[in-house]
Amino acid sequence: QVHLVESGGGSVQAGGSLRLSCVASEYAYSRLCMAWFRQAPGKSPEGVASTSYGATEYANSVRGRFTISKDNAKNTLYLQMNSLKPEDTAMYYCAAGRPSTCSTTTPLSEYDYWGQGTQVTVSS
């Protein structure tokens, strides 16, 4: 059963914006913690933003540029990305679960579910 489906990725020039969406199954959406990760080629997954009980946290590399939000009526998690930089290029994944800590430093392996990802490419 597919629990999380991401969309909204694409190719943009530096300075541009994208909004990623993650539609979750009822079961996945009920998880206490939801987050966005990204993985660039040859690198480990990096926590970008997380949210739990309305609280949000961002990685230093994206704070002030990215915004994580939820639409409970649509079981959807969003990531609004502004002022994109070439170093933001990566595959982006959403995740849901009950990790020991809901934080951008929590490893992806501690989440119960994650999607197939959506590619974001930022050109200079």
**Residue range 64-92, pLDDT digits in tens:** 999 999 999 999 999 999 999 999 999 99
pLDDT at 28 over 90: no
* pLDDT (0 to 100) of residue 6: 97
Higher pLDDT, 3 or 65: 65
Alpha-carbon distance of 42 to 99, in angstroms, equals 25
Alpha-carbon distance of 36 to 15, in angstroms, equals 20
Cβ pair 46, 63 in contact under 8 A: no
* pLDDT (0 to 100) of residue 14: 98
**Percent of the chain with pLDDT strictly greater than 70:** 100
Higher pLDDT, 25 or 2: 25
Alpha-carbon distance of 58 to 4, in angstroms, equals 21
- Token output for 67: 């915004």
Q: What is the pLDDT of residues 59-71, one digit of tens each?
A: 999 999 999 999 9
Residue 80: how many other CB atoms lie within 10 Å: 15
